[in-house]
Amino acid sequence: MRRTKTFKFCSIMLLLVFLVIMSACESDESSASSATSDKSIVVALTGEANSLDPHNTTDTASKQIYSVMTETLVGLNENGEVVPLLAKSWENSEDGKTWTFQLEEGVEFTDGTPFNAEAVKINFERVTNEENKLARYPMLGPYLDSITTNGDYEVVFHLNSPVGPFLNILAFPSGSNIISPKTIEEGIEAVRTNPIGTGPYKIKNWSPGTDTVFEANPNYWGGTPQLDQITFKVVPENASRVLMLETGEVDIIADVPATDIERINNSEETKVNSIEINRTLYVGINNSVAPFDKVEVRQALNYAIDKVALTNDLYEGRVKESSAIVSSKDQMYSNAGTYPYDLEKAKEMLKKAGVKEGTKVRLVAAGNAVRDHKAGQYVQTSLQLLGFDVEFQMLELNDYLNTLDDPSKYELYLRGGIANTNDAYDILRDSFYSDSKYNYARYINPNIDQAIEKGAIEPIIENRKKIYEEAFKEIKEDAPWIFLYEDTVHIGMRSNIEGLIVPPTHLWNYTEVRKSN
């Protein structure tokens, strides 16, 4: 009898334990279900932000982060066309030197400070003040005479000369972002770590090297955000990002490797969006050091790279050979021609130039630009076949940028060039103007300087195209770069992700991102 009672007691206990376990499992399943259907997403990027100051950064990783919380007066749509944003309308004077903007009313920064004409004035006076020594000063600083306001919602830019790509410059979310005047008053460190904007999301936490978390701005002027939270993770390893996407640990990943695209697209759970952007990949040549101060040596490097094999074999036809310093997606593009592969011709040119076999060369690259590394290795191998002894160094981003500031530390550098305004002006100004801080090729050509200056103030697009067309051809002949390919980005997503907008400038717009049911 005692055994029967004991057995019944044990049975009841086992049943209770089973029910508790099942309840826990149901709870876990419910949690898992809500985790995949709630209003938050996780995005895995390849590199980390260097700074969140939109007026003082040039790297893509930083721009991808602070663009989530800050906005500009005008923006670019998926076709690269200028559209209203914080400014609802504008007009330009007959002489092209005065631009008047009517601003959206009732907009606030996420710290409660009102967005108005005075806030716009404070921001542009900050970035265009040469004494502040901000990285984005060259975009507009040399051309801005003054800014005035007429009431709270009209701001007027007075230029010292017409600026052809003026609206495109204002659409660029690195230099033209509007942040809270209160943050600017708090000083450069406050702007670097937490620039308060008017965007649909506001920063919750920034942990450099790991996570950056944004939460919805409940008072967003453009309507209630689609998501409650966006988390960015830094995941430089390709395989890790892909695995995280396939297991559902993240919702969106940058830079899907070519070898994984078909598999991800064939899954019901995931998809890949492949988008041609106006980024070109190139190897810059330090024109200030021998033997690369000779144009025939620089041309020889271009002949020594088989771009057809690079694009069709190494990248499986998912990119295409460059035919200008800007992509064919750029509104100022024209075909300047290419250097066909001819290794024997390249060797003969080096021989005539007196370049010795085994000349040592340092090729440096940014370690966080993961997708570019195999192209760097390809160039290394190709130039070794040409007779150079090439050391390929992948450096942490700050070390890479510091190296480029010292021409004695490199001969070649791997870099992506994006016309961030969707206009060739900023690539020309940054990379080829003799006095530019970012002219890492140390390329000096008065003709090109004049073309940049002339194009900048030409208001008629077709006339500017003609000016730039001649500049592209001359730069191609001078060969300050090894011209590689035009880029296509492959963005991996869970199948239920919708609404991500990617203009040719490759700065993702999360305003309409959502999860479908």
Domains, in order of start, for the chain: 41-48+195-275+490-515 (3.40.190.10), 71-180 (3.40.190.10), 279-488 (3.10.105.10)
* pLDDT at residue 77, as a whole number: 87
What is the dihedral angle through the alpha carbons of 240, 245, 246, 249, rounded to the nearest 10 degrees? Answer: 90
C-alpha distances in angstroms, 128 versus 141, 158, 311?
4, 13, 40
User: What is the per-residue pLDDT across 320-346, written as a single tens digit (0 to 9) for each?
Assistant: 999 999 999 999 999 999 999 999 999
* pLDDT at residue 9, as a whole number: 41
* pLDDT at residue 114, as a whole number: 98
Task: Assess whether pLDDT exceeds 70 at residue 299.
Answer: yes
What does DSSP say about strands 481-494 and 270-285: parallel, antiparallel, or unpaired?
Answer: antiparallel
In angstroms, rounded to a whole number, what is the distance separating the alpha carbons of residues 409 and 412?
10
* pLDDT at residue 209, as a whole number: 76
Write the secondary structure of 331-351 as one string of H (helix), E (strand) and C (coil): CCCCCCCCCCCCHHHHHHHHH
pLDDT > 70 in the chain, percent: 93
In angstroms, rounded to a whole number, what is the distance separating the alpha carbons of residues 473 and 282?
16
* pLDDT at residue 30, as a whole number: 38
181 cis-preceded (ω within 30 degrees of 0) = no
Task: Assess whether pLDDT exceeds 50 at residue 27.
Answer: no
Q: How many CB atoms lie within 10 A of CB 385?
A: 12
In angstroms, rounded to a whole number, what is the distance separating the alpha carbons of residues 339 and 300?
9
pLDDT category of residue 80 using cuts at 50, 70 and 90: confident
Task: Assess whether pLDDT exceeds 90 at residue 13.
Answer: no
- What does pTM read for this prediction? 0.79
In angstroms, rounded to a whole number, what is the distance separating the alpha carbons of residues 356 and 348?
12
Tokens of 306: 């088989």
Q: Is 69 helix (H, G, I), strand (E, B) or coil?
A: coil
Long-range contacts of 202-207 (CB under 8 A, 24+ apart): 202/69, 202/110, 203/52, 203/69, 204/229, 206/49, 206/52, 206/65
User: What is the per-residue pLDDT across 243-295, written as a single tens digit (0 to 9) for each?
Assistant: 999 999 999 999 998 889 999 999 999 999 999 998 999 999 999 999 999 99
Q: In 353-423, where does DSSP find H-type helix?
A: 373-386, 397-404
* pLDDT at residue 195, as a whole number: 94
In angstroms, rounded to a whole number, what is the distance separating the alpha carbons of residues 469 and 141?
25
pLDDT category of residue 374 using cuts at 50, 70 and 90: very high
In angstroms, rounded to a whole number, what is the distance separating the alpha carbons of residues 412 and 284?
6
More confident site: 164 or 295: 295
For residue 421, give the nearest of 81, 52, 63, 68 by alpha carbon.
81
* pLDDT at residue 198, as a whole number: 98
Q: Is 494 helix (H, G, I), strand (E, B) or coil?
A: strand
Q: How many CB atoms lie within 10 A of CB 308?
A: 12
- The torsion angles phi and psi of 439, rounded to 5 degrees, stand at -80, 70
Question: Largest Cα–Cα distance in the chain?
Answer: 108
* pLDDT at residue 316, as a whole number: 86
For residue 196, give the nearest of 173, 177, 219, 224 by alpha carbon.
177
Q: Are 506 and 277 in contact (CB under 8 A)?
A: yes
Mean pLDDT, rounded, of the chain: 90
CA angle 57/278/80 to nearest 5° reads 90
End-to-end CA distance of the chain: 57
